[in-house]
Homo-oligomer: A and B are copies of this chain.
Amino acid sequence: MVNFNKKEYIKSIKSLHPADQADSIENLNVKDQTSVLKTSTKDFHPDFIAYLREETREEILNLIPKKQLINLIKYLDLDDAVEILSEFETKDLVNTLSNLGQLQRSRIEENLKYPEDSAGRIMNRDFLAVKSTLTVGNLIDQLRTSRRGPKDFYNVFIVDENNIPIGYIPSGRILRSKRSKKLKDMTLKNVHLIKSNESVEDIAYTFRQYGLVSAPVVSAENKILGIITVDDVVEIDHEELEDDIQKLGGLFVNDFYKGALTSASSRFIWLGLNLLTAILASLVIDIYSDQLQQMIAIAVLMPIVASMGGNAGTQAMTIYVRAIATKDIDNSNYFKLIIKEFLIGSINGLALSMIMGLIAYYWFDSLVLAIAISFAILINLGFACLVGIIIPLSINKLKIDPALASGIVLTTFTDVFGFLSFLSIATYILNL
């Protein structure tokens, strides 16, 4: 590696978009990060700290001298500042808050009172809410003279005398209307209210379902507290899905930006659990060790049965983990879907069992062995598809994240049942 030239580096990132500055600093090694951030945060756009990935943010912020960090935070939008401060330790949080201006401080504190990943925590408090009695001209005059409210906004929300949102007007429509036009004659009524305790998953769902651009966050009494805009939802929805992908892949966190040791230890838990379930499956095999010794072909073929069950179960599980997340499955259709999965498992089980039966017959020249593995595959695929839907549904009922826990429970079932069914059927049919 060439030596790191700090001056050159600062020159190269100065004119970049803050998102690219964040990427760039993330790709440096710790030594170079330290050297750059110790002295030169002025050369970055303050927003760059908002664009740092969740996985790297804490480590990088720790390299910035406290005073400079506070200066950066002063420039941030409310939602970005809240997200960053949520991860601070109490001491640092209190210290930082006491160094911010009164308005920013009270707004941050207000949002931090709401639970993590709730609408109240992530909302912005800079929004436009006006009464419907105004005309377009009144509103434009107010906007031109007042310094309050956001610089950029997509919708103007219309509220009643109790500050309850009753509609909205896209800002473009206001620009296209005559000054004399009354807001109440152009208000769109289908405004989706988001409760302050609503989860980010539900918010992402609502925005996608209805193609929203921004929506008001309201209190229990439906009074407007803040707004959430679609550009934040892109991020939320993306993270939700990335999260599911990782969990389905057996990862608790994305360790792409972590060192080998941290990555190894975070992946170890999952592998340790898998070791337990693999041992459980081996205990089943052990019960049949006498029979295996009498006919070693069974040992040769048994991984096929377990593997087919695991794959068929994973297909079904993947569909239903997502169907639960997107609210496509509920009490009205789950029974029909269970029947459907059983049918899918039976159809594919029948096809694959015939193929594998033929192969086993020609491979080991034994009709009974062929019949045994055929039966085992048929039963296993039906079973695998059934548990592939029942496991995520049950885990979800237990209020555990189905993406996280379904995979390991599923393979335990399909492995144990796979070996058990094949070995017991073979023992019975072959009279071992």
List the interface of chain A (C-beta within 8 A of B).
17, 19-20, 27, 139-140, 143-144, 150-154, 170-178, 190, 207-213, 230-231, 233-235, 237-238, 241-242, 244-246, 248-251, 254-256, 259-261, 263-264, 267-268, 270-272, 274-275, 277-279, 281-282, 285-286, 289, 292-293, 296-297, 299-304, 306-308, 311-312, 314-315, 317-319, 322-323, 328, 332-333, 340, 343-344, 347-348, 351-352, 355-356, 359, 381, 411, 415, 419
Q: Which chain B residues lie closer than 8 Å to A171 at the CB level?
A: 154, 171-172, 175
Closest residue of chain B to A169, judged by CB? B152
What are 11 contact pairs spanning A and B, CB under 8 A?
Answer: A208-B234, A242-B322, A249-B314, A249-B317, A264-B348, A272-B352, A275-B352, A285-B300, A289-B300, A303-B306, A303-B419
Whether B152 lies near A172 (C-beta < 8 A) is yes
The interface residues of chain A, by DSSP majority, are classed as: helix
| Total copies of this chain within the assembly | 2
Other A-B pairs beyond A154-B154, A154-B172, A250-B314, 11, CB < 8 Å: A151-B170, A171-B171, A207-B234, A230-B230, A234-B234, A244-B245, A248-B249, A251-B315, A263-B340, A268-B352, A307-B411
Residue of B nearest to A229 (CB): B213
Cβ–Cβ contact A299 & B306, under 8 A: no
In the complex, residue of chain B having the shortest beta-carbon distance to the beta carbon of A337:
B256
Residues of B with C-beta under 8 A to A208: 234-235, 238
